[in-house]
């Protein structure tokens, strides 16, 4: 079994690390406080190819593997999870879904600009009354012959105000339950499509999270992804890959907090010696490092399975569950090691702690991941 990264992987990781420190770190606290979308930073990430890095080169992407994606997500998330979630959604929920299930016409029209970063995408599944239970879609897409008439509301949509195209799950035939759901490509600017207020969130405050409303939006039949009634399967298949991205985001948040805590422990002195010389602090750092390394290996395993064309859904859920819980525990401990300074924004760890919490919630809560894992184990 090979654990070493290739030279290309190492170069990709370094590029992401250098970018995060040079471009994301300056102003990250201000963006968090003022809930500013990192527009300039997203533009630069597009120029580096981060927004379509796994998409085939013939569609404008980087043609890179999922392992590279995990490495990039970790490095970006160490500094700014609000920026990294843009990379996650655009790559693993939007570009992947289009490349895997879209027609050639849909790929040329939407995937190419998405992969190049000329346009952002959004994935619209959650609703006010439908979060983890994705079968309860109240958004409807009535079949009108040559188009669907879309009505409803979607909640917690990343890139909500900045997306040029949204993949919207909607119920066409209620009697068929999950088999009556379709996935539709809905363009910004379509009549009846409006964006609600930005959510005032605990963490990832720079992320562009909105509700979206659809009122008699006419969506052409050629904008349906896959066959009639394929929407629910499309969403579930796409979310499997999305969990790898969020696991990597959680890994990055934990890694960033650990690096800050280690550095602080070496510099800060108490009772005449550095914090790092106290066994109580050493034990905390040892536990943090162990859980982070385990999370990293779980993320890379899920990515490797996906790259090999092997089933990866179980591995992705395990990685997402463990990494997200590691992120929460590690950031709390990082604040504790910093003491009173950990509660102050300029030391960054309180922001990482707030950012960590969302990784336990989106792409399926920790409880949902445990259900998925146990179902696979008990088959």
pLDDT of 267-312, one tens digit each? 999 899 999 999 999 999 999 999 999 999 999 999 999 999 999 9
Flag whether pLDDT at 134 surpasses 90. no
Annotated active-site residue 10? The verdict is no
3-state secondary structure of 167: strand
> What pLDDT is recorded for position 132?
66
Q: What is the mean predicted confidence (pLDDT) over 324-339?
A: 98
d(CA 136, CA 31): 35
45-77 pLDDT per residue, tens = 999 999 999 999 999 999 999 999 999 999 999
Q: What is the mean predicted confidence (pLDDT) over 322-343?
A: 98
pTM above 0.85, yes or no: yes
d(CA 11, CA 268): 33
DSSP-assigned letter for residue 335: H
d(CA 263, CA 8): 29
Count CB-CB contacts under 10 A for residue 367: 11
Active-site annotation holder among 187, 363, 367, 376: 363
> What pLDDT is recorded for position 297?
98
219-250 pLDDT per residue, tens = 999 999 999 999 999 999 999 999 999 999 99
Q: What is the 3-state secondary structure (H, E, C) of 231-281?
A: HHHHHHHHHHHHHHHHHHHHHHHHHHHHHHHHHHHHHCEECCEEHHHCHHH
**Pick from 18, 1, 145, 9: nearest CA to 71:** 9
Flag whether pLDDT at 130 surpasses 80. no
d(CA 166, CA 292): 34
169-190 pLDDT per residue, tens = 999 999 999 999 999 999 999 9
**What share of the chain in percent tops pLDDT 90?**
96
- Rounded to whole angstroms, what are the CA distances from 218 to 3, 161, 192? 50, 20, 8
Q: Cβ(135)–Cβ(178) under 8 Å?
A: yes
196-219 pLDDT per residue, tens = 999 999 999 999 999 999 999 999
Predicted confidence band of residue 2 (pLDDT cuts 50, 70, 90): confident
**What share of the chain in percent tops pLDDT 70?**
99
d(CA 123, CA 253): 23
Nearby residues of 179 by Cβ (< 8 Å), 6 or more positions away: 173, 229, 232
Mean pLDDT across the chain: 96
- The strand pairing partners of 130, in sequence order, are 127
d(CA 259, CA 334): 9
d(CA 231, CA 237): 10
> What pLDDT is recorded for position 319?
98
Q: Which two tokens mark 150?
A: 């879309």
Q: Cβ(211)–Cβ(155) under 8 Å?
A: yes
Q: What is the mean predicted confidence (pLDDT) over 104-108?
A: 98
- Rounded to whole angstroms, what are the CA distances from 144 to 148, 154, 216, 364? 5, 22, 11, 33
Domains of the chain: 7-120 (1.10.540.10), 122-230 (2.40.110.10), 232-378 (1.20.140.10)
> What pLDDT is recorded for position 44?
98
Flag whether pLDDT at 83 surpasses 80. yes
> What pLDDT is recorded for position 345?
96
């Amino acid at each position: 079994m090979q654990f070493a990264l290739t030279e290309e992987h190492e170069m990709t990781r370094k590029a992401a690390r250098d970018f995060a420190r040079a471009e994301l770190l300056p102003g990250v606290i201000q963006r968090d406080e003022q809930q500013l979308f990192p527009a300039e930073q997203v533009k630069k990430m597009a120029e580096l190819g981060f927004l379509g890095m796994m998409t085939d080169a013939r569609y404008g992407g980087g043609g890179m593997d999922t392992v590279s994606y995990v490495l990039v997500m970790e490095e970006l998330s160490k500094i700014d999870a609000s920026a990294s979630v843009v990379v996650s959604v655009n790559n693993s929920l939007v570009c992947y879904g289009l490349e895997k299930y879209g027609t050639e016409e849909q790929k040329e029209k939407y995937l190419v600009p998405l992969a190049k970063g000329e346009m952002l995408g959004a994935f619209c599944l959650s609703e006010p009354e439908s979060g983890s239970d994705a079968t309860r879609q109240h958004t409807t897409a009535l079949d009108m012959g040559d188009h669907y008439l879309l009505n409803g509301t979607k909640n917690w949509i990343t890139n909500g105000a900045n997306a040029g195209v949204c993949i919207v799950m909607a119920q066409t035939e209620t009697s068929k339950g999950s088999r009556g759901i379709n996935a539709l490509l809905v363009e910004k600017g379509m009549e009846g499509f409006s964006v609600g207020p930005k959510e005032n969130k605990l963490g990832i405050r720079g992320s562009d999270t909105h509700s979206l409303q659809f009122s008699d939006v006419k969506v052409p039949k050629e904008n349906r992804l896959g066959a009639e009634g394929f929407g629910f399967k499309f969403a579930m298949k796409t979310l499997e890959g999305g969990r790898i991205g969020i696991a990597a985001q959680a890994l990055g948040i934990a890694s960033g907090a650990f690096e800050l805590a280690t550095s602080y422990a070496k510099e800060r002195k108490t009772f005449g010696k550095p914090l790092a010389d106290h066994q109580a602090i050493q034990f905390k750092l040892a536990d943090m490092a162990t859980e982070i390394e385990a999370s990293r290996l779980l993320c890379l395993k899920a990515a490797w399975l996906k790259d090999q064309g092997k089933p990866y859904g179980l591995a992705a859920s395990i990685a997402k569950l463990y990494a997200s819980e590691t992120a929460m525990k590690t950031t709390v401990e990082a604040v504790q090691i910093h003491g009173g300074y950990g509660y102050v924004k300029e030391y960054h760890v309180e922001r990482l702690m707030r950012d960590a919490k969302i990784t336990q919630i989106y792409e399926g809560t920790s409880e949902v991941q445990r259900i998925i894992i146990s179902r696979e184990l008990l088959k």
